[in-house]
Amino acid sequence: MESKPTTSHAQAPILFVSVGILAVCGIFYELIISTFTAYFLGNSILHFSLTIGLFLFFMGVGAYLSRFFTDKYLLDYFIQLEILLGIIGGLTGGALYVAYAMTESYYLVAFILVGLVGSLVGLEIPLLTRIIHQQSFELRHTLAQVLSFDYLGALVASLIFPLFMLPYLGLLRTSFVVGLLNLAVGISNIYVFKEQLQNFRLQLGVALSAVSLYIFGFAYSFSISGYLEQLLYQDEVVLSKQTEYQRIVLTQWKEDVRLFLNENLQFCSLDEHRYHETLVHVSLGLHPAPEKVLILGGGDGLAARDVLMNDKVQRIDLVDLDKTITDLACQNPALRKLNQNALKNPKVRIFNQDAFKFIEKGGELYSVVIIDLPDPNEISLGKLYSEEFYRLVGKVLAKDGIVITQSSSPYFARKVFWCIGETLKQVFPHNLPITLHVPSFGQWGFQIASRVPLDKAEPRLLRYLKELENKKKTRYLRASLWESLKIFDPDMSYLKVEPNNLSTQYIIQYYEDSWKQLNE
């Protein structure tokens, strides 16, 4: 005996609108889990790919399971599904925070969430299609309209997430909002189809209770986020901000100020002078007249601070993608104290652009190029350690110019360090690696390159370092330390590795392998 149509043509619009909203929610859930995993574990390409692949697989599982739902109670099943998905989905952000901060089972929790949410999302479209088809719509019309709304919703979500949700709401608030959207779909369908439901009061009560919980969560999301984020750091979180590019966190304990980008330490105020003095003054000292300096990265202003110690420097162009970072360096009291208000100096010009695009345009020549970028732990950063990038750097570098780049750890990421050196050799005939100990980072290193012999410039460098020492401008770097900076212990010594370029991105694999071995 055929079941009677459960809905009328007049009620169909609510179902089609539901399809679009559910598509938005489904894409949001994929992006939330992928983004959390990339922030916590790095390598965004790998984790986005794995999360989306697994999510689609479990959507297939959900679609298959839909065959076991009988036609008689399809509306009830659909509404219950939305309530359940809203409850689980809204908790996704908090669950991933806790899993990473308090357990060793982040991957397991993320996998369970992908499995649960993906399967529930996979159930939605088959159930909705069957509900609409029961209205006596032809199957071809039903599928055409359902899939059209589904794909349209996916497009909307893919645009809204990076442009609005992530930078303005953050991941935790976005989780609550998406959970509320699922619950809103359930509640609106309860209202429209209440005469056809088995127990609409119970379903409505559960949905409204969950809505109340998430409204509370949204209202207090900054407090909740602050508490969860504090679990990730040893020191007090004094600033936390999500931008369209990254998560910025500033912590402080007494005089120890630390900056983290996407959970990765960028500097510790107690020892950053070791890093920045070596990065800046070695490159400036090797050049006879460093009048124009280009800093790629370094949005915290610490490299610019040290460059300004050199009276020969007439102009500094600083290129950092994220305007929020350079604004903080100009406005935040802790950062301004550390960088000595360097970014407000009239010699400094700030460009909030992609470093690759900036030097691609060219137009000016620089005496010294200082590359102070995060480690190459994902494709978007790997391109800034490529042969193609260094060739562009060469075009903006004066004939006698010096380029220096931070190069990760020659001990913890040995292949990465020597890969950067090998890549520079493809562009510049003269190369010099150096290394030092930075307590908060461990053993660290830089690669220096030029078109002119570097060894002939060393006497000039030593005179410059002695001058800085006599004027008490440096706390760590001394002329007497120079020879030690060139010494690499056997377990950090040269390795034959492949140079990095845009088509291969060997450096990403080297980086993943190095830190994987460290964690084993």
Task: Walk me through the domains of the chain, giving residue ranges and CATH numbers.
Answer: 9-229 (1.20.1250), 235-266 (no CATH), 268-519 (3.40.50.150)
Residue 329 CA, distance from chain mean position: 20
Q: What is the pLDDT of residue 313?
A: 96
User: How far is 186 from 291, CA to CA, in rounded Å?
Assistant: 65
Type of residue at 102: M
Q: What is the pLDDT of residue 3?
A: 43
Q: In sequence order, what DSSP letters do the residues of 400-431 get, joined into one string?
A: EEEEEEE---TTTTHHHHHHHHHHHHTT-SEE
H/E element holding 95? helix 92-102
Q: Model confidence at 1, in pLDDT bands (50, 70, 90)?
A: very low
φ and ψ of 431, to 5 deg = -140, 140
User: How far is 477 from 488, CA to CA, in rounded Å?
Assistant: 18
Is pLDDT larger for residue 124 or for residue 347?
347
User: How far is 476 from 278, CA to CA, in rounded Å?
Assistant: 9
End-to-end Cα spacing for the chain? 62
User: How far is 73 from 83, CA to CA, in rounded Å?
Assistant: 16
Q: What is the mean pLDDT of residues 67-87?
A: 88
Asked if residues 507 and 385 have their Cβ atoms less than 8 Å apart, the reply is yes
Return the structure tokens found at 452. 């002119």
Q: Is 208 helix (H, G, I), strand (E, B) or coil?
A: helix
Q: What is the pLDDT of residue 517?
A: 66
SS3 for 256-299 is EEEEEECCEEEEECCCHHHHHHHHHHHHHHHCCCCCEEEEEECC
Ranking 142-151, 165-174, 209-218, 419-428 by mean pLDDT, the lowest is 142-151
Q: Is 351 helix (H, G, I), strand (E, B) or coil?
A: strand
Type of residue at 514: S
Of 253, 246, 297, 293, the closest CA to residue 275 belongs to: 297
* Per-residue pLDDT reduced to its tens digit, 459-517: 999 999 999 999 999 999 999 999 999 999 999 999 999 999 988 889 988 988 886 66
Asked if residues 82 and 185 have their Cβ atoms less than 8 Å apart, the reply is yes
The bridge status of strand 397-406 relative to strand 366-372 is: parallel
Q: What is the pLDDT of residue 476?
A: 96
User: How far is 112 from 120, CA to CA, in rounded Å?
Assistant: 12
Q: Which residues are catalytic?
A: 372
Q: Model confidence at 452, in pLDDT bands (50, 70, 90)?
A: very high
To the nearest whole number, what is the mean pLDDT of the chain? 89
State how far the alpha carbon of 235 is from the alpha carbons of 42, 252, 301, in Å: 22, 6, 22
Q: Model confidence at 5, in pLDDT bands (50, 70, 90)?
A: very low
